[in-house]
Structure 1
Amino acid sequence: MMTARLLAALTGLLILGIPASASPALLWTQYAQANGVLKLTAHTDADPLHPEPATARLLMKISDEWETVAEAEVEPLTAMAAFRVEDWDNRKVFSYRVLCGDSKLEGTIRAEPKAKGGVLKLAVLACIKDEFFPQTNAVQHVIDQDPDLLFFGGDQLYESNAGGEVIYTQSEADIPAAMANVLAKWRKFGLMFKELLKDRPSLIITDDHDVYADDLWGRGGIRMPGNRTTGGYNMEPKWVNLVERVQTWHLPDAAHPGPWGDGILAYYTSLNYGGVSFALLEDRKFKSAPAQVLDAPVSDPDASQMAPNMEVIEWADFDAGKLDQPGLQLLGKSQEDFVRQWANDVFKSGNLAAVLSQSPYANVGNYEPHFGDMDSNGWPQSARDRALRAIAPSKAVMLCGDIYYGTLFQNGIDDWGDGPWTFSVPGFTSNQNRRWKPSVAPQGNAIEGIEGSGNHHDRFGNKLTLVGKADGYKGYGMAFFDKGKREITLDIHLFNDARQPVPDRVPGWPRTIQVE
């Protein structure tokens, strides 16, 4: 008799159009190169509930001959083969091939762009539901931009993907079934973007939905002790590590992998690519939780009923400064120290730079104008300020997703205009339920035709200067790093409900930032 778990795994394959008997078939690849090391993962349709030994080979075309440069086992729980090639020559273009049984994938390892002169093109995508799968035209639109590098900023999958069933882990015994469940959703992402991923390096980080969390305050990688606002992860640490391995193993080696908390690993890292310095951060993993400062939701005393969510401050007259307490964390001390050292190194090198993370460092995406959302990186305020001060010497732009609609603003720390610029890209497919519509007039720098522009405070008192927003659109972003002119240009590409490009320009984009 077929078990429910086996049926779920087989159903996941059928949803993707993959014959259940074809395992392990190669589905797609993703790779990155840094510090003389190439890391490439080949993802298969192998079933974690019924693992079978399989080996994959990575071949490169050298002098018109295919040579095997690495072999790797298909991992039973991640269903991927992880290849690491040392002493990689990043100056050359290589055609590659991955073989596993009768299955084959091919692609191109690009030569790293020259460090001096020229323009490095980065595509920025986030928040990818599968309702329009396979989104061939939308993905082709990204391919047509011919980016040198890709950044996927989180929520590459949602619980609703691949039929919507979710298998949670109560113990390690549940991990194979939960991995089969999450891989069905992850495969929607990979098959959607396989033509984009196979020929260019990609930087991928996870956000809350990737690890089956509806908002996440990781508290240093602990297992959740109560409800979600107590913080921590609601899944087994081993499962969290496996999911993050699936998405991020090909990144440069982690700066401080841990384990942290209850055994959860960290992947935050950095790389220099094509003369641009990147820091990849984890906004959620070390962040403090609402229950560390609140015992109950903050409710308007004149309201007829209590506010339903502790993390959403609904009382318009509540002083949100009371929620900023000593010892609260955003990045955590170790990651703060890492960012500080990275920024100082960037300052010395003179490189253009970008910080790649999950969410903006301001509460710029609200459900209502007077609401404050502690899921945003506008809280905790002092920890937010420490992070921005650490980043500031690098003069980096901050690129992220999470809030579903496109925003472009400059963070303020002590004053408006003294912090890094942030471009939060629109969700590639996610529906919008947030907005920026301040109820207080700007304190200077308003731009005609852009509602909510100018100098503002968010609900937690953080300063920001908004110059662009794209309400009601899905899409993605592009960042152009002109090393000769020392300029970073940020642009936005939008789709309508038919997944066709929107030809009209949105006020605020493109925006060119001169890096002094």
Structure 2
Amino acid sequence: MKLSRRIWLKLSSAFAWSGPAAIASAEETAAAAKEINPAMPFGTDHKRLDSLAVGNWWDKKANGRNAPPSMIVPRDEVVAFAVYTQANGVLKLTAQLFPLKPDEQREARLELQKDGQWVEIAKEEVLFPGWSAHFRVEDWDGSKTVPYRVRHGNEAMFEGTIRKDPIDQETIVVANMSCNSSRTTGERHEIVENLLHQDPDLLFFAGDQTYRHTEHTAGWIEFGLQFRDVIKDRPTICTPDDHDVGQPNLWGENGRLSTLPGNADGGFMFPAEYVNMVQRQQSWHLPDPPDAEPIERGITVYFTTMKVGGIDFVILEDRKFKSGPAGKIPKMGPRPDHINDPSYDPATIDLPGLVLLGERQLNLLKTWGQDWEDVQMKCVLSQTAFCGAVHMHGSETGRLLADLDCNGWPQTGRRKALEEIRRAKAIHLCGDQHLGVVVKHGIDQYGDGPYGFTSPALVNTIYGRWWHPEDEKPGPNPVPNSPLPWTGDFKDGLGNKISMMAYANPPNVKDEKQRADGYGVVRFNKKTQEVTLECWPRFSDAKKGDSEQFPGWPIQVAVADYDGRKPVGFLPELKFDAEANPVVQVVSDDTGEIIYTQRVAGATFRPPVFAEGTYTVHVGKKKAGEASFASLSIADAEAAIDVVLA
């Protein structure tokens, strides 16, 4: 029997919802076919969602000056691109396909090159809606570089390379990117060419990979076409942000349904199936989340950890659990999330019960911060900044006192997050703010918290932002010899202490080459325990060297300075083999609090402490604890301890 297009689509959709490993009975297939309309897979109330990639997509054409690329391509080009990670002996790879026609097979194949021959190792269903296929390969040998290709049918193919883990490299390079405006269509060749020259070991896209909102599949394919020449050969982390899931702002509120314009009541405005499709396309390939329980409405989570070359990354979802401000705090500006009342007290909006990261992610941070097996340095990745390092929003005259969309609010949640990041001796990378910034966070005092690097917008046609103090003066303790006039210690509009180290204001948002578009490059030197932060304009030429960077960069910071508290004293000196590079953990005997955990280099280390008292020191090769020394105090500081590690 030959199926009509309509019936065929319904039946294939019935299988696709269940995932690549599911088998549906005839009864289940018939029931699902009745429930799912392939032209409106997210329901009749959401006819516009993903419209360019569902139904009779071949009869549709996006119109307008900034339209996405056509979904109609030669059939030997239907495999658009692929993203992958490899960690913990598992390769996870997502292949993104253009929409398939009813008579085309909904199956993709993964092949690896072995001994010069291509070997098929897996077949997976192409899922609808979204047209993505997901491959998981166990017992992956991360010490080898392996060519791969994804195939569909007889001719369609996308090729790349699974890089070996660069554990033997002294320096690991990460590209920090976000906010890829869909109003500027076409290639991103000027960025890609720089990235190919800089050759990062890891790509981090922090969010807003697309601003297509209701057309995520078309927007995601557009993003992939723009960056696939650099993505295809490198592990890539993508974390969806508000615009990826079709919202102007996102306070996830554990997955509830948002109903207010602007979404300040908290939650997701579109069906869970659409949100899950976005997350599946962008983030399925990340390492498995250690706490995978979905949130409300069955929305999935992806927060997890990942090691690359001895650098340990924790990947956070800083929007997923955060409280929305509407109805919880008084309205003090034109919107529930914008504050312009100069007389307001920041403490009055830091209310009990408000959530930032949520307990699940705080628990992950605590566990991750203590685990240093095969790890030399640590880094936190999330969507947005833990402060409001912006004065002007939208225009050079659009001064805004406080923006609750940033992670500077709620302040108690910010404090909890920064304390865990500091405890782990980690640096923080993010995007979202459209303004390239490096700050040293303050928790109790200026400079006592970790460093944070916010990447500029890759393409900044959506929303300009500026750092521009009203008095046009630097703060106390400005950066010596900086070419930037307004560095130093400031409070953001939420009362949070920050030390501004560098910012990349756009000179002219109407001029494409003066909008401050760009991206970050972060170099982790495992031997010196230093990190170099670079910020590159979109139209720079990286081959010409550091002079092409934004003024104020590059910036070099040391792991030893990540915890900026001033020690009140030091515990006894630890002495060990110069090649040991042990993990040292200091715990307060009085409170049981872990003060910090870090890997140290050299033959000696004197643990600093920040309050009088007695402490237990744990030392180990991979994890703290192989040797323990209890009840050590500042008074014992003249003593020295020889540490013998088995």
- Could you say whether these structures have the same fold, taking a TM-score greater than 0.5 normalized by the shorter chain as the test? yes
Q: CA deviation at 1:218?
A: 0.5
Cα deviation, 1:235-282, whole Å, max 9, x if unaligned, reads 001210111110001100012222112221110000111000001001
Distance 2:244 2:272 in 1: 14
Aligned pairs (5 A) from 1:236-255: 236-255=271-290
* Structure 1 counterpart SS, 2:254: coil
Q: Which residue of 2 aligns with 1:157?
A: 210
Aligned pairs (5 A) from 1:163-312: 167=214, 181-227=215-261, 228-295=263-330, 297-298=331-332, 307-312=333-338
Q: Which residue of 2 aligns with 1:439?
A: 470
Instruction: Pick the aligned partner of 1:513 from 544, 553, 557.
Output: 557
Q: Point out which structure has higher relative CO (alpha carbons under 8 A, 6+ apart).
A: 1
Aligned pairs (5 A) from 1:100-115: 100-101=152-153, 102-114=155-167
* Structure 1 counterpart SS, 2:407: coil
Cα distance change of structure 1 residues 457 and 51 upon mapping to structure 2, 3 Å threshold: farther
The one-letter code of the counterpart of 2:524 is: F
Aligned residues: 484
Is 1:392 aligned to 2:422, yes or no? yes
Instruction: Pick the aligned partner of 1:141 from 191, 194, 202.
Output: 194
* Contact persistence 2:534–2:553 (CA under 8 A): yes
Aligned pairs (5 A) from 1:363-382: 363-366=388-391, 367=393, 368-369=398-399, 371-382=401-412
Q: CA deviation at 1:85?
A: 0.4
Distance 2:138 2:90 in 1: 5
Q: Which residue of 1 aligns with 2:177?
A: 125
* Contact persistence 1:286–1:332 (CA under 8 A): yes
Distance 2:191 2:444 in 1: 41
* Structure 2 counterpart SS, 1:234: coil
Instruction: Pick the aligned partner of 2:500 from 466, 482, 493.
Output: 466
* Structure 2 counterpart SS, 1:338: helix
Q: Which residue of 1 aligns with 2:367?
A: 341
| Segment of structure 1 superposing worse, 395-404 or 18-27 | 18-27
Q: Which residue of 2 aligns with 1:361?
A: 386
Q: Which residue of 2 aligns with 1:25?
A: 78
Q: CA deviation at 1:507?
A: 3.2
Identity over aligned pairs, percent: 35
Q: Which residue of 2 aligns with 1:68?
A: 120
Q: CA deviation at 1:93?
A: 0.9
Q: Which residue of 1 aligns with 2:346?
A: 320
Q: CA deviation at 1:225?
A: 4.4
* Structure 2 counterpart SS, 1:11: coil
Distance 2:317 2:420 in 1: 15
Q: CA deviation at 1:18?
A: 4.7
Cα distance change of structure 1 residues 237 and 18 upon mapping to structure 2, 3 Å threshold: closer
Q: Which residue of 2 aligns with 1:11?
A: 61
Distance 1:390 1:482 in 2: 22
Instruction: Pick the aligned partner of 2:139 from 73, 80, 87.
Output: 87
Cα deviation, 1:307-364, whole Å, max 9, x if unaligned, reads 4211100111211220001121100111111111111224x76621111100110011
The one-letter code of the counterpart of 2:469 is: P
Distance 1:17 1:443 in 2: 50
Bigger CA radius of gyration: 2
Is 1:330 aligned to 2:356, yes or no? yes
The one-letter code of the counterpart of 1:358 is: Q
Cα distance change of structure 1 residues 143 and 498 upon mapping to structure 2, 3 Å threshold: closer
Q: CA deviation at 1:104?
A: 1.1
Q: Which residue of 2 aligns with 1:176?
A: none
The one-letter code of the counterpart of 1:288 is: S
* Contact persistence 1:369–1:438 (CA under 8 A): no
Distance 2:541 2:360 in 1: 45
Q: CA deviation at 1:451?
A: 2.9
Q: Which residue of 1 aligns with 2:525?
A: 482
* Contact persistence 1:138–1:500 (CA under 8 A): no
CA RMSD of aligned residues (A): 2.6
The one-letter code of the counterpart of 2:227 is: F
Cα distance change of structure 1 residues 94 and 370 upon mapping to structure 2, 3 Å threshold: closer
| Segment of structure 1 superposing worse, 335-344 or 51-60 | 51-60
* Contact persistence 1:32–1:250 (CA under 8 A): yes
Distance 1:76 1:505 in 2: 43
* Contact persistence 2:475–2:487 (CA under 8 A): no
Is 1:34 aligned to 2:77, yes or no? no
Cα distance change of structure 1 residues 359 and 490 upon mapping to structure 2, 3 Å threshold: same
Q: CA deviation at 1:42?
A: 1.0
Q: Which residue of 2 aligns with 1:172?
A: none
* Structure 1 counterpart SS, 2:297: coil
| Segment of structure 1 superposing worse, 436-445 or 144-153 | 436-445
Distance 1:257 1:209 in 2: 23
Distance 1:69 1:505 in 2: 44
* Contact persistence 1:370–1:439 (CA under 8 A): no
Q: CA deviation at 1:382?
A: 0.4
Distance 1:86 1:100 in 2: 22
TM-score by length of 2: 0.71
Cα distance change of structure 1 residues 91 and 85 upon mapping to structure 2, 3 Å threshold: same
The one-letter code of the counterpart of 1:381 is: Q
* Structure 1 counterpart SS, 2:446: coil
* Contact persistence 2:191–2:539 (CA under 8 A): no
Distance 1:375 1:51 in 2: 46
Distance 2:121 2:57 in 1: 36
Q: Which residue of 1 aligns with 2:376?
A: 351
Gaps of 5+ in 1: 160-165, 168-180, 299-306
Q: CA deviation at 1:284?
A: 0.5
Cα deviation, 1:352-393, whole Å, max 9, x if unaligned, reads 111110011001123255510011111000010001111112
| Segment of structure 1 superposing worse, 421-430 or 23-32 | 23-32
* Contact persistence 2:322–2:356 (CA under 8 A): yes
Distance 1:370 1:122 in 2: 32
* Structure 2 counterpart SS, 1:91: coil
Distance 1:407 1:71 in 2: 44
Cα distance change of structure 1 residues 497 and 315 upon mapping to structure 2, 3 Å threshold: farther
Aligned pairs (5 A) from 1:378-457: 378-431=408-461, 432-439=463-470, 444-447=476-479, 448-457=482-491
* Contact persistence 1:96–1:107 (CA under 8 A): yes
The one-letter code of the counterpart of 1:490 is: L
* Contact persistence 1:343–1:392 (CA under 8 A): no
Distance 1:245 1:500 in 2: 36
* Contact persistence 2:125–2:133 (CA under 8 A): yes
Cα deviation, 1:132-182, whole Å, max 9, x if unaligned, reads 4112232212111111110000000003xxxxxx64xxxxxxxxxxxxx32
Cα deviation, 1:368-419, whole Å, max 9, x if unaligned, reads 5551001111100001000111111221111111011110111111111111
Distance 2:266 2:362 in 1: 20
Is 1:77 aligned to 2:109, yes or no? no
